[in-house]
Amino acid sequence: MRRLTLPLALLLAASLAALALSAGVGSANLALGELWAVLGGGGDALSRTLILELRLPRSLSAFATGGLLAVAGALMQVLLRNPLADPYVLGLSGGAAVGALAAMLAGLGGMVISGSAFAGALLSTLLVFGLAHGTGSWTPSRLLLTGVVVAAGWGAVVTLMLALSPAERLPGMLYWLMGDLAYARTPMPSLLVLVLVCLLGFPLGRSLNVLARGPMQAAALGVAVRPLEWTIYITASLLTAMAVTTAGSIGFVGLVVPHMLRLVLGNDQRLILPACALAGGTLLVLADTLARTVIAPEQLPVGVITALIGVPTFLYLLYRSR
Amino acid sequence: MSRLETRGLVIDVPGRADGRALDLCLAPEQVWGVLGPNGAGKTTLLHTLAGLRDPRAGQVELDGQPLANLRRRRVARQLGMIFQERQDGFPATVLETALIGRHPYLSAWQMEGGDDVRLAEEALERLDVAHLKHRLVNTLSGGERQRVAIATVLTQSPQLWLADEPTNHLDLHHQTAVMALLAEQSAAGKVVLMCLHDLNLAARWCDHLLLFYPDGEACWGPASDMLVPSALERLYDQRLATAEIDGAPVFVPAR
Amino acid sequence: MVKTISTPAVPPSSVSTLASKRAWPRRLGGLVLAVVPWLTGVSHANEVCAVDDRQREVCLEAPAERIAVLSPGATELTYAAGAGDKVVAVVSYSDYPPEAKEVTSVGSHTRVDLETLVSLQPDLVVGWVTGNPAEQLETIESLGMPVFYIEPRDFEGVSTGIERLARLADTQDEGDRVAQTFRDGMSGLAARHADAATVPVFYQVWDEPLMTVNDVHLIGKVIELCGGYNVFGEQSRLVPRIDDESVLDADPEAIIAGGMGEENRDWLDHWSQYPGLTAVDRDNLFFVPPSLIQRPTPRLLEGSRILCEKLEVARARR
């Protein structure tokens, strides 16, 4: 058990430190004592508004989104038996983007954009799985290929929508496509889902470990492969859709976080899944803190920061792997 | 004690005629060897016997019950399989790899305990790879990986062993050690069935043989009845020279 | 406090409104809390109200003293309304009048830095209906800062925009004077060109991609005011994207370009390669400084004057 608890305790401490940092740092300068007073239930009205209404909801949303993306990435990688798979690789973000942009084009806002993005992600999920299944059985490579082609299709639709959209809507759309937490105000549903999936992930963890060694080996060791694969696929899709809905499409968290954790912690999913939730959350909290402070008062989309961190990291890992 | 039987079994090799339906009965303390040229369907047969592939016709029964009706977890407690090909997409240590053999016995919330680790370590010891237990599998040589795979099934300790080329990549000493291990399992009341390329290993270690022809034809029975040079020559489409060493026949390809 | 016009008027004692806000404790920002004693204690003799461009009546318990303006155009309007010294926050590119550049920026209009905005504790936020993210403006309102949306779609909208901002800032004398000057100037231009011969005009907003405006756009309305005929006026999109071919086909008598900076001749030189165009043949390629015509502000009067002069030149070259 200690093998599991020690890394998780360290990651939990890192998460809390990142959340504290993001609550304490912003374009408005607040003294550390003031932060402490507010968290203790005191503080003046302005500090309370800044920390409790603006920073904390956003930081917690960032944490939940990062965690969801990293867990979804880890699941997708086991499903596709490919350590380089990404939650967006199967056209999920493309479908979500088309849904969200359609809502923005129609001039709708807030919850409608979120709902539309969610619907788009699920539509893409069903489309890819349905097509990959085809008449026969699906293989990871077939699923991957179908996903990539569907994603390319969504990409074309997104470009078409951008070309046809009125100029004043373009900035909002571009920010959404780059991933942005400026809107995120209700972190609780995502956090709840994150905790739930980590708890439910534990009993499935050993089966996932076996599945990572191939479906034949897994079946020979008593895993009901097809139902497990469906469960992973649907869960990962839902998690991604939820993350995309909160913050637009944020790349590389789902790819880089599981990959780095595996290098350090090995590949026991019972450890990797909760570790991904914590490390992915921490990464996105830090990235978002950077995004809103680095050239404040100008606000950067957080997706830009994760990509700037993620691309070199990923290339380095790829270069090092054989 | 378990028993594996097939009733009118026709394996599904795409584009091949049905050939002869198999009615095999694999009983405890038997060691079966499956011989046949490349592409005869030996691996497909093993996968079908393990329930990992649907047959074209007939069925496989484990202790009188159709394999297809049984839960995989229950099957995995009785039937172990050594695969010829393995996926090492993710890094894992030798000990972790052996430990997955305990998967069928542990409940969802259970972590591998001291007993499980002890079983895995014993299996690694038996296969002479215990010193590698903290190494990553993908850094091992082919022969070492093969022995880790066998140790995994030993950890699983099934009643029925299905082994696809268990001596692949192994040097002469370890070939013999693995064959001795399988013979020992059989002597302890288990059933062993393996695909082999080496006619002489089959002649030396197997008490029953199944000859599998590329067109789906097959014949099977006690090894002594099957090891007829003319039949083997037809099987491999290769003339053979025969000798006898230590009371066992030895076959060498003739020039 | 903000209410839509369609809802029954709330009695001036804002207590009931406040009570309804209390039903949303999470949204009740510190700012609202801070003004509670003041609200309940004093009568509302100082209350000022104005209808914004989303047709909502926005009421302030007292005239605004700290105004945050979230679009460059609205910044000009606020300064024109005489409330320039009350502006505490602007967004990027708020470059006119020059004093506006000295005011604290709260980032770009597409992504407002809410923290900086909240720290400045504005008592009025002037929002941009289509320019600012709706979610951010909703957040600002939920934190207790009243948002007044402004986005003039016609000349009268510029005048009343100035007047309404002046009312909220209690600078009505200055605001009404500026608004009336603009109104008179525009109607003077309209009267002068009411009977002028029609000039087919192509107005170029951007070169790559090539973009123009339709009749609904403010620039389209200026063209109409000056007796011009916008050759792409019938297009359904406000800022249609077009190609050279459609310009050749429409064969305008005058081409008017804005540009990236002031006096960018490149855009006009591009058309010289088509000598068959009437506008090129008669050398009717004109430049109008975009800052004078592309923002709905009082400077539009000067921009319109220049554009009308250019069309007079075109008529003289017939």
Tokens of B141: 């040589």
Confidence of residue A52 (pLDDT cuts 50, 70, 90): confident
List CB contacts (< 8 A) between A186 and chain C.
none
Selecting from A82, A216, A262 the residue whose C-beta is nearest the C-beta of B52 gives A216
Which strand ranges, in their side-by-side order, compose the sheet holding B4-10? B25-26, B4-10, B57-62, B65-66
Q: Is C212 on the interface with A (CB under 8 A)?
A: no
- What is the per-residue pLDDT for C146? 95
The torsion angles phi and psi of A118, rounded to 5 degrees, stand at -60, -45
Q: Give the up-direction half-sphere exposure of residue A139: CA atoms within 13 A in the CB hemisphere.
A: 4
Residue C24 has pLDDT above 50, yes or no: no
| Interface with chain A: mutation pick from C53, C104, C115, C149, highest number of A CBs within 10 Å | C115
Say if residues A315 and A257 touch (Cβ distance below 8 Å): no
Q: Best mutation site among A168, A181, A188, A292 for testing chain C: the one with the most C CBs within 10 Å?
A: A168
Task: Please state the separation of Cα C217 from the chain's center in Å.
Answer: 12
Which candidate from A47, A166, A296 shows the least CB-CB separation from C116? A296
- State the pLDDT at residue A1: 60
What's the complex ipTM? 0.91
The closest of C32, C19, C14, C150 to C83, measured between CA atoms, is C150
pLDDT in tens, A54-83: 899 999 999 999 999 999 999 988 988 887
Smallest Cβ distance to A182: which of C30, C111, C239?
C111
Cβ contact A50–C121 (<8 Å) = no
Q: Do chains C and A touch (3 or more CB pairs under 8 A)?
A: yes
Length of chain A: 322
What local confidence, expressed as pLDDT, does residue C21 receive? 37
Q: Which residues pair with B136 in a beta bridge?
A: B93
Nearest-CA distance from C123 to chain A in Å? 13
Q: Does B205 touch chain A (CB under 8 A)?
A: no
In contact, B51 and B67? CB cutoff 8 Å: yes
Contact with chain C for residue A183, Cβ under 8 A = yes
Q: Do B91 and A209 touch (CB under 8 A)?
A: no
Among the partner-chain residues A175, A292, A297, the one whose CB lies closest to the CB of C106 is A297
Q: Kindly report, as residue ranges, where domains of CATH 3.40.50.300 are found in chain B.
A: 4-78+158-253
pLDDT digits (tens, 9 = 90+) for A294-311: 887 888 888 889 988 888
Report how far residue B186's alpha carbon sits from residue B33's, in angstroms, rounded to the nearest whole number.
13
Residue C28: pLDDT above 70?
no
Least confident of B47-56, B213-222, C256-265: C256-265
Q: Measured between CB atoms, which of B50, B89, B90 is closest to A220?
A: B50
Residue B81: which of A202, A220, A223 has the nearest Cβ? A220
Q: Structure pTM?
A: 0.84
- Burial class from Cβ neighbours inside 10 Å (0-12, 13-18, 19+) for residue B161 reads buried
Distance (Å) of CA C114 to CA A288, B115, C21: 14, 58, 21
CB-closest option in C30, C113, C134 to A45 = C30
Pick the CATH number of B4-78+158-253 from 1.20.140.10, 3.40.50.720, 3.40.50.300, 1.10.3720.10: 3.40.50.300
Mutation target to probe the C interface, by most C beta carbons within 10 A, among A245, A299, A302, A304 is A299
- The structure tokens listed for C230 are 């916008």
Chains in contact with C, where contact requires at least 3 CB pairs less than 8 Å apart: A
pLDDT digits (tens, 9 = 90+) for A162-198: 888 877 778 778 878 888 887 777 889 899 999 999 9
Query: Per-residue confidence at C35, pLDDT binned at 50, 70, 90?
Result: very low
Cα gap A127→A121, rounded to integer Å: 10
Q: Which residues of chain A approach chain B closer than 8 Å at the C-beta?
A: 1, 4, 77, 81-83, 202-204, 206-207, 209-210, 212-214, 216-217, 219-225, 262-263, 266-268, 270
CA distances in angstroms from C40 to A64, C9, C10, C23, C50, listed in the order given: 41, 19, 15, 17, 22
Q: Is C240 on the interface with A (CB under 8 A)?
A: no
Picking from A76, A204, A221, A272 by the largest number of B CB atoms within 10 A of its own CB, the best residue to mutate is A221
pLDDT at B158 over 50: yes
Mean of the per-residue pLDDT values for chain B?
Answer: 92
Q: What's the whole-number average pLDDT of chain A?
A: 86
CB contact (8 A) between residue A46 and residue C118: yes
Q: What is the pLDDT of residue C308?
A: 95
Give me A282's structure tokens.
């921490």
Find chain A residues with C-beta within 8 A of B106's C-beta: 206
Residue C221: pLDDT over 70? yes
| Domains and their CATH numbers in chain C | 2-180 (3.40.50.1980), 197-316 (3.40.50.1980)
CATH match for A2-320 among 2.60.120.860, 1.10.3470.10, 1.20.1730.10, 2.60.120.1360: 1.10.3470.10
Q: Give tens-digit pLDDT for A205-244.
A: 999 999 998 889 999 999 999 899 889 988 988 898 888 8
Contacting partners of chain B (3+ CB pairs under 8 A): A
